[in-house]
Every structure is written in structure tokens, then in C-alpha cells.
Structure 1
Amino acid sequence: MEIEELTDPERRIGEAFPRGGTVDLTGADDRTVRARVLRSLLLRAPSEDGEIPALRLRGARVTGSLDLHSAVVSCPVSLTDCSFDEPVVFYGAECRGLSLRGCRMPELWATTVRVGGALRLSDCRVTRQVRLGGARVEGALFLERAVLGAGPDAEGRGPAQAGARARALGLDHATIGEDLRAAHLTCYGQARLDGLTVTGHIGFDDARFLHPAGTALQAETVTVGTDLHAMRVRAEGRVDLRGATVPGQLNLAYAQLSNPGGVALRASSCTAGELWLREARRIEGTVNLRRARCDLLHVSPEVWPASVRLDGLTYTTLAPTLPAARRLETLTRDADGYVPFAYEQLTAAYRHIGDDAAARSVQLAKQRRHRTTLPLYARLWGHLQDATVGYGFRPMRAAGWLAGLLLVGTLAYGLHPPRPLKADEAPGFNALAYALDLLLPIIDFGQEKAYAPQGGYQWLAYLLIVAGWVLATTFVAGVNRTVSRY
């Protein structure tokens, strides 16, 4: 392009480019720059001896399509607070560094782009989609305060229609060499991060993912080098973290997750050092943590929704430390029904902190829940075990029942001694020993064999014998269970 064809702003850009100078058109009468002029400069990259060429432009209005499809851009590109009337294309391009901070554009198409330094999209406003699938960014990716996708009032459409819009951010299978910094990011539509690899940390603090008609944040098999922080995040639609790997904190403290009638949080098969839902709002929609693993799970019972899926969820420590009764109610909400593993895991968490009483309470609750799945005869036997020894986790109950029956037998036969079978051979009658003979099947004081009660006292003897067998059996089973587990 000949120099005479350039407008005054374009001429200033052409003169500053070889030296890497900045051209600021903010507030200028003529802010218009043709995209083909910028493209020509980036592809030719004119330079001066001893200078580093760069495109540094602020406040311009770029007309036409800035199309750098598969181009090799050898100089840094910094376009700040510029507006584009057509999509910006860096598909398959290679850049030393790329900054579009504060720019407004219909769309950024940069699939498989290679950026040797940082990629800066902070404060951008993109009305359709940012496509970065398969991108390779050696530095950090900045999306702080960016607004992506058509907002609820775009083109006269309301919030419900806006929720049904397509993807706002495509970052699937991308690789970022440092951090993904996206605090205060807003996505109207789906943010897709499947297969994303970030060497450093991901920061979504105060971000908003708004896609009520579907999945707001699709981040399956994400791999993070350190932490994933999404404190105070707001998500309308499903948050999908299935198979994510976060060695440090997966921090959703103070989050607002809402997907009524569907899955609000899916983190099945996720692995995290710590999973935080501290002081988050009550989740609207199902939470699926099946087969997830973490060392610390920080969540209060009030955060769990009406429906959960916790089968296979493994954790070492559960915070905050609360009585077992506060935690047990959540297990009754499992959409899969009775899940034995969930009770075993909660038991292990209480045992880990040395609270054996709470662990026994969880095991008792497990047996009671299991009882509801059994046939009638088994439920009746279960009720008897529960009332007598608390399924072995309250063995002292049996001792109380035995003591009461022993007192009844001693008083009854002390006031009305049974007749001896052989008067000349029978030992002296002892009401206490006789009652013990009836109640305890393995004890023999010689009283039961020597005396025979009559009438109603004979039926009382039968009752004491049967009760003794039942109580002794359940007591021994309970003690064995307690000793084997604790």
C-alpha cells in the first residue's frame, strides 16, 4: 500500500510501527483505521536499525476485517480500547505477544493460535464468542472484567432467551503456560473449557457464568497446576467439572450455583486437594460428587440442595466439625437411595478426628436406613435389634433390658417360689439365681433344673428364657461389631 493512500491516523501508525511507538487516537476527530492497513504492517513488519517493531495502538475504530488467518506475526501486537466492526481473526496464527485489552468486537476467532508471551483480553466486550480452542499460550491468559456473549437485552431479547444462546467462550483443549486470570469475567452463554491445561492457577473469583437453559461452565477434565479459585462465582446453569484435576484448592466459597430442575454442580470423578463450598448459598439443583476425591471437604449442611449424589465420594477431613446428626440428614437426600458407602465415608471422617461416639451414631443411622430396604420379617428383626442394643452400637441397652428382666424374675419368684421337682434332692431355692438361670443360656446355677413353676409363672419362665436368648445374642453380636470396628 502506497504511503499516499494512507489517512493521517494510518500514517502515524506506519511511522511509529518500526520503532514500536504507541499511537493514541483517544478523543481524536478521526479515529478510523482500516484493518487491511494494520494487516499489511503486521505481515511486512518494517523495522529500523536498533529498534524493535511493534503495533501499539489505542482508541482506534478499526473498519473491515482484521484477518490474520495462519499468519506469522513476528512483532508484539497491542490494541487497547479499540473497536472493531467485524470479527478479529487470528485462527492458526503465531504471535510473539497479543493484547486486545479493552477492545470491543463482534467476535474473536483465534482457534489454535500460538502466542509466545501473554494473551491479554482484559476488559474486552465481545458480543458473540471468543474462540480459543486448541490455543497455546506460553504466558498467562488475562480475561479479567471481560464481557463475552450477547447480554440479556441484546437485539431486544429477554433474559430467558438470552440463556438459550450459544457458546460465549471456547477454551477447550487449550494449553496455558502460566495462569488463567479471569476475575469478574461475565459470560452470557456457555463457557467451554474441556481438556484445558493450565500450568499455574485458574482465577474465576467474582465471575458470572449465565446460561440458564444449559451448561454455564463446561470444564470436564480440566488440569490445573495449583489452585482453581472461583470465590463468589455466580452460575446460572450447570457447572460441569467432571474429571477435573486440581492438586490444591478447588475453592467455591461464597458461590451462587443455580440450575433448578437440573444438575447445578457436577464434579464426579474430580480429584482435588481441597474442595471448598464454605458459606456458599444453598445450591439450587442437584449436586453430583460421585467418585470425587479430596483430602478436605469444607461444606456446611445448609449448602446442600434437596437432591445429591454422593456414592463413591472420598474425603479424609470434613469441615466444619459438626455433630453427626447435622451431617446425617444430607445422606437421606441421595437421589440413588440408600448408599452404604456414603455412611462408611462419614464414619471414617469422624474416626479420623477421634470422635468415636459420632462414628457409632453414623453406623447406627446406616443400619436404620438399610432396614427400610428389607422385607417385613427382616424389618421386624431389625426393630428388635435397634430397641435392644442399637444394632450393636448401643450394647449397654441390652444390659439395661437384662437388668430389668432380672429384677422382674427375682421379685416374681421370690414372692411365689416354684415347687421343687425332687424335694429331697433340690438345692435351697434362690430367686436371684433362678432368674439368672432362666435369662442367661450359658450360666447354670442348678436352679432351673431343680424347680418347676406353675401356671402363669411358667409362662413368665418361658418369656425370660426367650428374652435371654435374644438379648444375649444381640449383645454378643453388638460387642463383636464394636470391637472389630473400634
Structure 2
Amino acid sequence: MEIADLTPLESRIRYAFARGEAVDVRPEHGAPGSPDVAGSSVRAAVLRGLLLSGPVEDGEIPALCLRGVTITGRLDLAYAEIPYPIQLMACDFEDTPDLSEARVRRLDLCASRLPALTAPGLRVEGDLVLADCQVSGPIQLGYARVEGNINAPRLMAQGEVVLEAAQVARALDLEDARLHNPQALALNAPSLSLGTVLNAGGLRAEGKVRLTGTRAGGWISFIEARLHNPGGVALGLSSCEARQLTLRDAEPIKGEVRLHHSTFKAIEADPKVWPDVVRLEGLVYESLSPRLPAAQRLPLLEHDQDGFVPHSYE
């Protein structure tokens, strides 16, 4: 795209990109009457052109750092290799961005609003940030590779969040997230691999949370969570491995819980958290907390749909 085709805001973004500077068009950060406030739309094709073949200045490190813009058109970065950090903070996407099989340094979409996110096979050399995002459709991150963290506290998603076979070198943070996909999969993350922890403290999930085969180097936390999928599986943790599973102060789970063939050094949960339907065959653990008399723990085993399984009683 020729420079003459750019709007005043797009020209400023092009200039800032080459220097790694941020462009913030939010009213509280812009001077009244400035082009940034008067017109905050930027074409996705312009951003794509900058990321793939934008200007580079000697002695400067390019970066795309935008705040508060509206991105029109589809941001298509599928299969792209982008050596620059991308920060699109508090932005409005009119169309679903596509980062399928893309490779980026760092991707920060903090507080942005998207119709959906398509990024299966995405490679991120640093962190992937989805904190405070509002997504009105599915988030596709299956088979993604993130060398840092996935930071998604307070994420709001109105569709399936897919992390199937994703590999995260550090942590997945879903603290106080809201995942809404009733009678379907809210979080679909079988064979997820985490270097440290899954923090889902305060999570509100309407739909199934599927973590079958997940491996976490630290703990899996659902502290103060609300897991709700009546008539189906609310929490699937079959064949998982982690140092600790905690459901401390979580609301009573509405829906089935599956823990069979999982291994935890410790499980922290009050008996009232467990639903009427559980599956425990092959579950291995070393300790339970809080410490309670056996009589208060036995009802959980009686809810096992596989019937009397000697291993569970051992």
C-alpha cells in the first residue's frame, strides 16, 4: 500500500512502528481535536503490511503498539513469521483475526474486543496476553506453543476456548475468567502441557471444562471457582498429572466430575464441593486436605458411578 493511501492515523502508526512507539487514541490519552481522537479506525491491511514489510530505522527496534483503535477488515497473519512484538490493547476488531500457524515474538491483546480468535498452531516466543478480553465467539489455540505464559485473567468468552495439545512453558492464568458455552465445551484443553501451574481461581464456567490428559509441573487450582454443567460433565480431569489439585472454597460443582487414572500428590477440597456423580477409578494421591474423619470422606466413594472399586477405597 502506498504512503499516499494512508489516513492521518495510519501515517502516524507507520511512523511510530519504525521506532517501537505506542499510539494511543483513547480520549483520555489524546489531545482534543487531534486526528487520533477524531478518527480511530485503521485498516487491517495496513497493519499486516507493516508487520510483514514495514519500515525499519537504524538503531531502532520496531514494534506495533496500538491502544484504543478500531481495526476494520480481517487481520490475516496466517503462517506469517513476525519478528516484532505486537500489542493491540483495548482495540475493537470488526472481524476475526487469523494467526493460524503464525510465529510472533509476543502477542498482547489486553482488554480488546473480538468476535472470535483463530490461532491454531500459533507460536509465541514470549507471553500471550488475553487479560480482560471480551470475545463473543470461540478462541482457537489448539496445538499452540507459548514459550512464556498465557495470561488471561478476567477473560470473557462466549464460545469454546480450545487449547487442545497446547504447550505452555510457564503458566496458564484464567483467574476470574468467565467462560460461557452452556451444554457444550467451555474449556477444551485435552493433553495440555504446562511448565508450572493452571490458575483458574475464581473461574466461572458455564459448560464443560475438559482437561483430560493435562500435565502441570505445579498445581491445578480452582479456588473459589464455579463450575456449572448440569446433566453433563462439569470437570473432566481424567489421566491428569500435577503436584496438587485444589478446589478450596469452590462452589458445589453442578455436573459430573471425572478424576479416574489421574495422579496428584495432594487434593484439597471440602466434601461438599463434589457432585452426586464422580468417577474415581485409578485415581492416585498421597494426601487429602482439609484433614477430616474418614466417615466424612466415604460418601464421595459411594457416588462413584463405577460402583465398588477397591483401589479407590485403598
Shared fold (TM-score greater than 0.5)?
yes
Q: Secondary structure at the match of 2:312?
A: helix
Shift in Å, 1:80: 1.9
Partner of 1:120: 108
Q: Following superposition of structure 1 onto structure 2, how do residues 213-252 of structure 1 map, counting pairs within 5 Å? A: 213-252=183-222
Distance (whole Å) between structure 2 residues aligned to residue 180 and residue 269 of structure 1 = 23
2:314 is equivalent to residue 327 of structure 1: no
Assess, with a 3 A threshold, how the Cα gap between structure 1 residues 44 and 332 changes in structure 2: closer, same or farther: closer
Shift in Å, 1:3: 4.3
Deviations 1:47-93 (A, max 9, x none): 344334x3xxxxxxxxxxxxxxxxxxxxx222222112323211111
Q: Following superposition of structure 1 onto structure 2, how do residues 92-171 of structure 1 map, counting pairs within 5 Å? A: 92-96=79-83, 97-105=85-93, 106-116=95-105, 118-127=106-115, 129-150=116-137, 168-171=138-141
Give the number of the structure whose residues are more often helix, by fraction: 1
Partner of 1:462: none
Query: In structure 2, what residue type is equivalent to 1:131?
Result: T
Q: Following superposition of structure 1 onto structure 2, how do residues 290-309 of structure 1 map, counting pairs within 5 Å? A: 290-309=260-279
Q: Following superposition of structure 1 onto structure 2, how do residues 392-407 of structure 1 map, counting pairs within 5 Å? A: none
Partner of 1:91: 78
Partner of 2:60: 51
Maintained 8 Å contact 2:41/2:71: no
Partner of 2:226: 256
Query: TM-score of the superposition, structure 2-length normalised?
Result: 0.90
* Higher radius of gyration, 1 or 2: 1
Partner of 1:30: 39
Q: Secondary structure at the match of 2:89?
A: coil
Q: Following superposition of structure 1 onto structure 2, how do residues 172-251 of structure 1 map, counting pairs within 5 Å? A: 172-251=142-221
Assess, with a 3 A threshold, how the Cα gap between structure 1 residues 15 and 266 changes in structure 2: closer, same or farther: closer
Deviations 1:159-185 (A, max 9, x none): xxxxxxxxx111111111011111111
Distance (whole Å) between structure 2 residues aligned to residue 208 and residue 239 of structure 1 = 12
Deviations 1:433-459 (A, max 9, x none): xxxxxxxxxxxxxxxxxxxxxxxxxxx
Q: How many residues align?
A: 303
Question: Structure 1 unaligned runs (5+)?
Answer: 55-75, 151-167, 345-486
Maintained 8 Å contact 2:23/2:65: no
Q: Secondary structure at the match of 1:338?
A: coil
Shift in Å, 1:120: 0.6
Query: In structure 2, what residue type is equivalent to 1:139?
Result: G
Assess, with a 3 A threshold, how the Cα gap between structure 1 residues 328 and 126 changes in structure 2: closer, same or farther: same
Query: In structure 1, what residue type is equivalent to 2:102?
Result: V
Distance (whole Å) between structure 1 residues aligned to residue 168 and residue 21 of structure 2 = 33
Partner of 1:9: 9
Distance (whole Å) between structure 1 residues aligned to residue 2 and residue 144 of structure 2 = 39
Partner of 1:82: 69
Deviations 1:158-212 (A, max 9, x none): xxxxxxxxxx111111111011111111111111111011111111111111111
Give the number of the structure whose residues are more often strand, by fraction: 2
Question: Structure 2 unaligned runs (5+)?
Answer: 28-36
Assess, with a 3 A threshold, how the Cα gap between structure 1 residues 257 and 89 changes in structure 2: closer, same or farther: same
Distance (whole Å) between structure 1 residues aligned to residue 111 and residue 20 of structure 2 = 23
Distance (whole Å) between structure 2 residues aligned to residue 94 and residue 130 of structure 1 = 18
Distance (whole Å) between structure 2 residues aligned to residue 193 and residue 40 of structure 1 = 29
Shift in Å, 1:124: 1.4
Distance (whole Å) between structure 2 residues aligned to residue 190 and residue 279 of structure 1 = 26
Distance (whole Å) between structure 2 residues aligned to residue 203 and residue 15 of structure 1 = 34
Distance (whole Å) between structure 2 residues aligned to residue 343 and residue 194 of structure 1 = 32
Distance (whole Å) between structure 2 residues aligned to residue 305 and residue 333 of structure 1 = 8
Shift in Å, 1:233: 0.8
Q: Secondary structure at the match of 1:109?
A: coil
Q: CA RMSD in A?
A: 1.8
